[in-house]
Amino acid sequence: MKIIEFYQTSQKPVLSLEIFPPQASYPVESIFETIEELKDLRMDYISVTYGAGGSTRDRTVEIASGIKRDFGIETLAHLTCMAHSRQEVDKILETLWEEGIRNIMALRGDPPADDEKLDSAHREYHYARELIEDARQKADFGIAAAAYPEGHPECRSLGDDLLYLKQKVDAGVDVLITQFFFDNRKFLDFVDRALRIGLTCPIVPGVMPVLNAKQIGRMLSLSGASVTAELRRLLDKYGDQPEDMKKAGIEYASRQLEDLLINRVPGIHLYTMNKSREIKEIAANAGL
């Protein structure tokens, strides 16, 4: 089933979760234990991330197909293209299709940190749009892509970023899922601007609970997402108190979801960080 069908037919906001493959030193079964703990949420689909340069490619495929086979939950397999040739991408897409995976999250991605040879002149892919075009030609995949409510960190302006986003959608995107943000007004303003330039596909807010102050600090530096005054106060107050920070982060995320639902978003995409207990509590607080 293509994930766009959930947004077209569901009478309630679509709930999706994002998980990431465990490190190579951990057994892959550990992620299925997490899914077992989360399945009571009755999520519509689960997205499975893909490491920089394809570092978790095999595990992404294994986990996505395993979730669909063993839990009966639709999956969205992430696929990045920057570090791959077109021949490699063609083979990956073929493998995904053979494994019964019908939805991909098409991303440009980043090169591996230790790959100094991957300069622009030697890449076969430069933009996610090119991957979207190839996937659309390869098979009848459902295709999701990333959107950035505050603009892509490498883009000069939000206006330019929206135009590039429209190019991706015109190339064959069914659903847009946003990068995490902490100020709902920025997301709602972004949706309004997207509608004004003719973007009519579902734009799904991606929400990441702040459960660990150090972890979110690194993510903020990479993403360019802004922090609200309220969240900054929480980080300053509880940054050195892990359990209190976790409680405050759960409360903040719960209220963020409640407000998004009041504003009639098409769905909620929760970045779980593979934390089942906390995600279940947030979903329950928000009435999901």
Which residue stretches of the chain have pLDDT < 50? none
Structure tokens at 264: 């009639």
Distance (Å) of CA 164 to CA 110, 129, 152, 170, 218: 18, 9, 10, 10, 26
pLDDT at 22: 79
Identity at 125, one-letter amino acid code: Y
Distance (Å) of CA 221 to CA 59, 205, 231: 27, 20, 16
Cβ atoms of residues 271 and 180 within 8 Å: yes
Cβ atoms of residues 18 and 77 within 8 Å: no
Q: Looking at 18, 74, 150, 281, which residue is catalytic?
A: 18
pLDDT at 55: 52
Distance of CA 31 to the CA centre of its chain: 17
Structure tokens at 11: 């009478």
pTM of the model: 0.93
Q: Where are the domains of the chain?
A: 13-285
pLDDT at 136: 96
- Run of H or E residues at 95: helix 86-98
pLDDT at 51: 65
Beta strands in the chain (DSSP E): 14-19, 45-48, 74-80, 103-107, 142-147, 175-180, 203-207, 267-271
pLDDT at 143: 98
Task: Report the topology of domain 13-285.
Answer: TIM Barrel (3.20.20)
Q: What is the DSSP letter of 195?
A: H
How does pLDDT run across 216-262, given as a tens digit for each residue? 777 777 777 889 999 999 999 998 999 999 999 999 999 999 999 99
- Run of H or E residues at 66: helix 57-71
pLDDT at 183: 96
pLDDT at 112: 60
**Any catalytic annotation for residue 18?**
yes
